[in-house]
Amino acid sequence: MTELPIVSPNWQLVGPLLEHLARRLRAASESEIEQFGLRARHVVALTLLRDFGERPQSDLAGMLRIDPTNVVGLLNELEAAELIERRRSPQDRRRHTVALTATGAARLGEVEGVLLDVERQMLSTLDDDEHAVLYRLLIRAVGETAACSPPANSHPCLADDDSGSHC
pLDDT tops 50 at residue 5: yes
Give 9-59 pLDDT, tens digit per residue: 677 888 999 999 999 999 999 999 999 999 999 999 999 999 999 999 989
Contact in structure between 89 and 95 (CB atoms under 8 Å)? yes
User: Is 15-148 assigned to CATH 3.90.950.20?
Assistant: no
pLDDT tops 60 at residue 159: no
Buried residues in 111-136 as b, exposed as e (16+ CB within 10 A): beeebeebeeeeeeeeeeeeeeeeee
Record the pTM. 0.72
**What one-character DSSP code corresponds to residue 160?**
B
Domain extents in the chain: 15-148
**pLDDT at residue 161, as a whole number:** 44
**What one-character DSSP code corresponds to residue 146?**
G
Name the residue among 121, 109, 38, 104 with its Cα closest to residue 74.
38
Query: 45 to each of 57, 130, 150, how far by Cα in Å?
Result: 11, 29, 14
